[in-house]
Structure 1
Protein backbone atom coordinates (compact mmCIF):
# COMPACT_ATOMS: atom_id res chain seq x y z
CA UNK A 1 0.00 0.00 0.00
CA UNK A 2 1.17 3.50 -0.76
CA UNK A 3 0.66 6.31 1.70
CA UNK A 4 1.32 10.02 1.37
CA UNK A 5 2.63 11.79 4.46
CA UNK A 6 1.68 15.45 4.12
CA UNK A 7 3.72 17.80 6.29
CA UNK A 8 1.84 20.80 7.62
CA UNK A 9 2.94 23.56 9.94
CA UNK A 10 0.98 26.12 11.92
CA UNK A 11 2.09 29.74 12.26
CA UNK A 12 3.59 28.90 15.68
CA UNK A 13 5.61 26.05 14.18
CA UNK A 14 6.84 28.30 11.37
CA UNK A 15 8.01 30.90 13.93
CA UNK A 16 9.79 28.24 16.01
CA UNK A 17 11.40 26.82 12.88
CA UNK A 18 12.97 30.19 12.03
CA UNK A 19 14.68 30.19 15.45
CA UNK A 20 16.14 26.67 15.01
CA UNK A 21 19.64 25.85 13.81
CA UNK A 22 18.98 25.19 10.11
CA UNK A 23 21.92 22.79 9.86
CA UNK A 24 20.31 20.70 12.64
CA UNK A 25 16.97 20.71 10.79
CA UNK A 26 18.65 19.52 7.58
CA UNK A 27 20.54 16.82 9.47
CA UNK A 28 17.47 15.47 11.26
CA UNK A 29 15.38 15.39 8.08
CA UNK A 30 18.27 13.80 6.21
CA UNK A 31 18.57 11.10 8.85
CA UNK A 32 14.82 10.42 8.65
CA UNK A 33 14.96 10.24 4.84
CA UNK A 34 17.94 7.89 5.06
CA UNK A 35 15.98 5.57 7.37
CA UNK A 36 13.09 5.51 4.88
CA UNK A 37 15.48 4.77 2.01
CA UNK A 38 17.39 2.03 3.86
CA UNK A 39 14.09 0.38 4.82
CA UNK A 40 13.08 0.43 1.16
CA UNK A 41 9.79 2.25 1.78
CA UNK A 42 10.48 5.71 0.29
CA UNK A 43 9.03 6.21 -3.20
CA UNK A 44 9.14 10.02 -3.37
CA UNK A 45 9.35 13.09 -1.22
CA UNK A 46 10.13 16.77 -1.32
CA UNK A 47 9.78 20.00 0.53
CA UNK A 48 7.69 22.85 -0.80
CA UNK A 49 8.62 26.50 -0.84
CA UNK A 50 6.79 28.60 1.69
CA UNK A 51 7.37 31.70 -0.44
CA UNK A 52 3.75 31.60 -1.60
CA UNK A 53 3.63 35.28 -2.49
CA UNK A 54 6.16 34.93 -5.33
CA UNK A 55 6.08 31.27 -6.35
CA UNK A 56 2.68 29.95 -5.33
CA UNK A 57 -0.71 30.36 -6.88
CA UNK A 58 -4.22 28.97 -6.66
CA UNK A 59 -6.40 27.64 -9.46
CA UNK A 60 -10.04 28.14 -8.45
CA UNK A 61 -12.53 26.00 -10.35
CA UNK A 62 -15.57 27.95 -9.17
CA UNK A 63 -15.74 29.74 -12.54
CA UNK A 64 -15.33 28.89 -16.21
CA UNK A 65 -12.58 29.17 -17.16
CA UNK A 66 -10.89 28.48 -13.82
CA UNK A 67 -9.36 31.56 -12.21
CA UNK A 68 -5.63 31.60 -11.46
CA UNK A 69 -4.62 33.92 -8.62
CA UNK A 70 -1.28 34.56 -6.98
CA UNK A 71 -0.64 33.45 -3.41
CA UNK A 72 -0.97 33.71 -0.57
CA UNK A 73 -3.67 31.11 -0.32
CA UNK A 74 -6.14 33.21 1.62
CA UNK A 75 -6.72 32.50 5.26
CA UNK A 76 -4.54 29.56 6.15
CA UNK A 77 -3.81 28.37 9.62
CA UNK A 78 -1.53 25.64 8.36
CA UNK A 79 0.91 25.57 5.47
CA UNK A 80 1.41 22.39 3.45
CA UNK A 81 5.20 22.40 3.26
CA UNK A 82 6.37 18.96 2.18
CA UNK A 83 5.49 15.34 1.54
CA UNK A 84 6.72 11.78 1.35
CA UNK A 85 5.17 8.86 -0.52
CA UNK A 86 5.97 5.54 1.08
CA UNK A 87 5.21 1.92 0.18
CA UNK A 88 4.34 -0.15 3.25
CA UNK A 89 2.32 -3.25 4.14
CA UNK A 90 -0.29 -1.67 6.41
CA UNK A 91 -1.85 1.44 7.84
CA UNK A 92 -0.08 0.63 11.11
CA UNK A 93 3.32 0.58 9.40
CA UNK A 94 2.55 3.94 7.77
CA UNK A 95 1.67 5.33 11.21
CA UNK A 96 4.94 3.98 12.61
CA UNK A 97 7.00 5.73 9.93
CA UNK A 98 5.01 8.94 10.28
CA UNK A 99 5.57 8.91 14.05
CA UNK A 100 9.34 8.82 13.54
CA UNK A 101 9.42 12.08 11.57
CA UNK A 102 11.50 14.72 13.40
CA UNK A 103 8.86 17.44 13.55
CA UNK A 104 8.16 19.64 16.54
CA UNK A 105 5.13 21.16 18.25
CA UNK A 106 2.72 22.86 15.86
CA UNK A 107 3.64 20.54 13.01
CA UNK A 108 1.46 17.71 11.78
CA UNK A 109 1.67 14.89 9.29
CA UNK A 110 -1.57 14.02 7.56
CA UNK A 111 -1.33 10.43 6.34
CA UNK A 112 -3.48 9.42 3.37
CA UNK A 113 -3.55 6.18 1.39
CA UNK A 114 -2.73 6.67 -2.28
CA UNK A 115 -5.41 5.11 -4.48
CA UNK A 116 -4.61 2.02 -6.51
CA UNK A 117 -6.40 -0.21 -9.01
CA UNK A 118 -8.55 -1.78 -6.27
CA UNK A 119 -10.30 1.59 -5.88
CA UNK A 120 -11.61 1.26 -9.44
CA UNK A 121 -12.95 -2.30 -9.30
CA UNK A 122 -15.77 -2.74 -11.80
CA UNK A 123 -14.33 -0.11 -14.15
CA UNK A 124 -11.42 -2.11 -15.57
CA UNK A 125 -12.77 -1.73 -19.11
CA UNK A 126 -12.49 2.07 -18.95
CA UNK A 127 -10.19 3.25 -21.73
CA UNK A 128 -8.27 5.61 -19.47
CA UNK A 129 -7.77 3.11 -16.68
CA UNK A 130 -6.25 0.79 -19.29
CA UNK A 131 -4.06 3.63 -20.57
CA UNK A 132 -2.99 4.37 -16.99
CA UNK A 133 -1.51 0.87 -16.74
CA UNK A 134 0.52 1.50 -19.90
CA UNK A 135 1.59 4.98 -18.77
CA UNK A 136 2.90 3.59 -15.49
CA UNK A 137 4.82 0.84 -17.30
CA UNK A 138 6.37 3.43 -19.63
CA UNK A 139 7.35 5.65 -16.70
CA UNK A 140 9.01 2.72 -14.93
CA UNK A 141 11.06 1.93 -18.03
CA UNK A 142 12.06 5.55 -18.73
Structure 2
Protein backbone atom coordinates (compact mmCIF):
# COMPACT_ATOMS: atom_id res chain seq x y z
CA UNK A 1 0.00 0.00 0.00
CA UNK A 2 1.36 3.39 -0.97
CA UNK A 3 1.12 6.27 1.47
CA UNK A 4 2.36 9.82 1.17
CA UNK A 5 3.70 11.50 4.28
CA UNK A 6 3.01 15.13 3.42
CA UNK A 7 5.18 17.64 5.27
CA UNK A 8 3.16 20.80 5.70
CA UNK A 9 4.82 24.17 5.14
CA UNK A 10 5.53 26.70 7.89
CA UNK A 11 6.59 30.33 8.09
CA UNK A 12 10.20 29.15 8.18
CA UNK A 13 9.98 26.83 5.16
CA UNK A 14 8.10 29.50 3.20
CA UNK A 15 10.87 31.97 4.06
CA UNK A 16 13.36 29.50 2.58
CA UNK A 17 15.04 28.90 5.95
CA UNK A 18 16.91 25.62 6.02
CA UNK A 19 16.53 23.27 8.99
CA UNK A 20 19.20 23.29 11.69
CA UNK A 21 22.18 20.95 11.24
CA UNK A 22 20.77 18.79 14.05
CA UNK A 23 17.40 18.46 12.31
CA UNK A 24 19.09 17.73 8.97
CA UNK A 25 21.04 14.94 10.68
CA UNK A 26 17.89 13.54 12.32
CA UNK A 27 16.00 13.61 9.00
CA UNK A 28 18.92 11.93 7.21
CA UNK A 29 18.90 9.17 9.84
CA UNK A 30 15.11 8.78 9.51
CA UNK A 31 15.39 8.50 5.71
CA UNK A 32 18.17 5.93 6.05
CA UNK A 33 15.90 3.87 8.32
CA UNK A 34 13.12 4.04 5.72
CA UNK A 35 15.55 2.86 3.02
CA UNK A 36 17.00 0.08 5.20
CA UNK A 37 13.45 -1.15 5.96
CA UNK A 38 12.74 -1.19 2.22
CA UNK A 39 9.68 1.06 2.47
CA UNK A 40 10.86 4.40 1.05
CA UNK A 41 9.90 4.96 -2.57
CA UNK A 42 10.79 8.64 -2.84
CA UNK A 43 11.42 11.68 -0.64
CA UNK A 44 11.62 15.28 -1.84
CA UNK A 45 11.42 18.79 -0.47
CA UNK A 46 9.75 21.61 -2.34
CA UNK A 47 10.80 25.19 -2.98
CA UNK A 48 8.78 27.88 -1.17
CA UNK A 49 5.46 28.89 -2.76
CA UNK A 50 7.07 32.16 -3.88
CA UNK A 51 8.61 30.04 -6.68
CA UNK A 52 5.29 28.40 -7.55
CA UNK A 53 1.96 29.15 -9.11
CA UNK A 54 -1.62 27.92 -8.91
CA UNK A 55 -3.93 27.10 -11.76
CA UNK A 56 -7.59 27.29 -10.82
CA UNK A 57 -10.76 26.55 -12.75
CA UNK A 58 -13.38 28.95 -11.34
CA UNK A 59 -15.78 28.79 -14.28
CA UNK A 60 -16.51 25.50 -16.06
CA UNK A 61 -15.67 25.64 -19.75
CA UNK A 62 -13.64 28.86 -19.45
CA UNK A 63 -9.88 29.33 -19.43
CA UNK A 64 -8.10 28.51 -16.18
CA UNK A 65 -6.73 31.32 -14.02
CA UNK A 66 -3.03 31.41 -13.15
CA UNK A 67 -2.00 32.95 -9.82
CA UNK A 68 1.68 33.48 -9.02
CA UNK A 69 3.01 32.67 -5.52
CA UNK A 70 3.73 33.31 -2.75
CA UNK A 71 0.60 32.10 -1.06
CA UNK A 72 -0.23 33.42 2.38
CA UNK A 73 -1.89 30.41 4.04
CA UNK A 74 1.27 28.47 4.92
CA UNK A 75 -0.69 25.80 6.84
CA UNK A 76 -2.40 24.87 3.54
CA UNK A 77 0.90 24.50 1.69
CA UNK A 78 3.22 21.52 1.26
CA UNK A 79 6.95 21.77 1.98
CA UNK A 80 7.85 18.22 0.97
CA UNK A 81 6.81 14.59 0.97
CA UNK A 82 7.93 11.04 1.52
CA UNK A 83 6.29 8.26 -0.44
CA UNK A 84 6.34 4.91 1.36
CA UNK A 85 5.19 1.42 0.40
CA UNK A 86 3.98 -0.43 3.49
CA UNK A 87 1.66 -3.31 4.39
CA UNK A 88 -1.02 -1.31 6.22
CA UNK A 89 -2.35 2.09 7.26
CA UNK A 90 -1.15 1.34 10.77
CA UNK A 91 2.41 0.80 9.55
CA UNK A 92 2.26 4.11 7.64
CA UNK A 93 1.16 5.86 10.84
CA UNK A 94 3.98 4.18 12.78
CA UNK A 95 6.53 5.51 10.27
CA UNK A 96 4.98 8.98 10.36
CA UNK A 97 5.14 9.01 14.16
CA UNK A 98 8.88 8.24 14.00
CA UNK A 99 9.66 11.27 11.80
CA UNK A 100 11.45 14.09 13.60
CA UNK A 101 9.58 17.42 13.69
CA UNK A 102 10.13 18.19 9.99
CA UNK A 103 10.09 21.97 10.46
CA UNK A 104 11.70 22.30 13.86
CA UNK A 105 10.64 25.25 16.01
CA UNK A 106 7.49 23.31 17.02
CA UNK A 107 5.94 24.12 13.64
CA UNK A 108 6.03 20.66 12.09
CA UNK A 109 2.93 18.96 10.78
CA UNK A 110 2.65 15.73 8.78
CA UNK A 111 -0.41 14.58 6.88
CA UNK A 112 -0.69 10.86 6.04
CA UNK A 113 -2.65 10.03 2.88
CA UNK A 114 -3.08 6.75 1.02
CA UNK A 115 -2.30 6.83 -2.70
CA UNK A 116 -4.77 5.26 -5.16
TM-score by length of 1: 0.68
Residue matched to 2:112: 111
Residue matched to 1:57: 53
From the two aligned structures, give the one with the greater helix fraction.
1
Q: Deviations along 1:93-117, whole A, 9 cap, x unmatched? A: 00000011111422111000001xx
Larger radius of gyration: 1
**Unmatched 5+ stretches in structure 2:** none
TM-score by length of 2: 0.82
Secondary structure at the aligned position of 2:9 is classed as: strand
Runs of 4+ in 1 over 6 A off after TM superposition: none
Higher RCO (CA-CA < 8 Å; seq separation 6+): 2
Aligned-pair Cα RMSD in Å? 2.2
| Equivalent residue pairs, number | 109
The 1:19–1:48 alpha-carbon spacing in structure 2 relative to 1, beyond 3 Å, is closer
